[in-house]
Structure 1
Amino acid sequence: MQSINLQKDKLELIEKIIHLEDKNTLDYIKSILNDETSEYELTNEQKLVLEEATEKYYSGEEPSFTWEEIKINARKSYNEKKS
């Protein structure tokens, strides 16, 4: 039996998909769901960027943010660019 949170997450995703208008996003979601065996592999450059960011995070050189803080900052930035 699936947990209530898992069921809730599924319903939220379905709701978002229903309201999507961007064909590219829908095609991307479809490709993910249709290709379960595909595994994404990072390039060496991407791995290096990730390693550097990880080092900065653990050293305290760069702060970390919650997902809510990231969304708020992204919205602020977007709204400032629109103005």
Structure 2
Amino acid sequence: MQSTNLQKDKLDLIDKILHTEDQSTLDFLKSILIDENQEFQLSDEQKTILEKATEKYYSGEEPSFTWEQVKINARKSHNEKKS
């Protein structure tokens, strides 16, 4: 049995999707839902970028972010792409 909050969250999301007119947002959501069960693999270039970023993080050269800040940054990036 699902919690009331989970059901409410699902219904709220469905409502937002139904009222969304932006095709890029719908494409983004569709890609997330369709790719959910597919195995994700990084390219060699992406692995190199990740390794360099990890080194910078552990050396203190790059800051870390809270989960809230990551979400804010992702939303900003997504909104900038739409503009």
- TM-score higher than 0.5 here? yes
Question: Residues of 2 paired with 1:66 and 1:42: CA distance?
Answer: 24
Q: Which residue of 2 aligns with 1:65?
A: 65
Identity score, percent: 65
How far apart, CA to CA, are the structure 2 residues paired with 1:51 and 1:5? 39
Matching residue of 1:23: 23
Partners of 1:56 and 1:8 in 2: CA distance = 41
Residue 8 of structure 1: how far off its partner (Å): 5.9
Cα distance 1:39–1:60, how it changes in 2: closer, same or farther (>3 A)? same
Structure 1 alignment gaps of length 5 or more: 79-83
RMSD: 3.3
TM-score (normalizing by structure 2): 0.55
TM (normalized to structure 1)?
0.55
Q: Distance in 2 between matches of 1:7 and 1:51?
A: 39
Cα shift at 1:66: 1.5
**C-alpha distance in structure 2 between counterparts of 1:12 and 1:57, whole Å:** 37
**Structure-1 residue corresponding to 2:42:** 42
Q: Give the stretch that moved more between structures: 62-71 or 28-37.
A: 28-37
| Counterparts in 2 of 1:15 and 1:51: CA distance versus 1, 3 Å | farther
Change (3 A) 1:32 1:57: same
* Matching residue of 1:81: none
Task: Give the aligned length.
Answer: 75
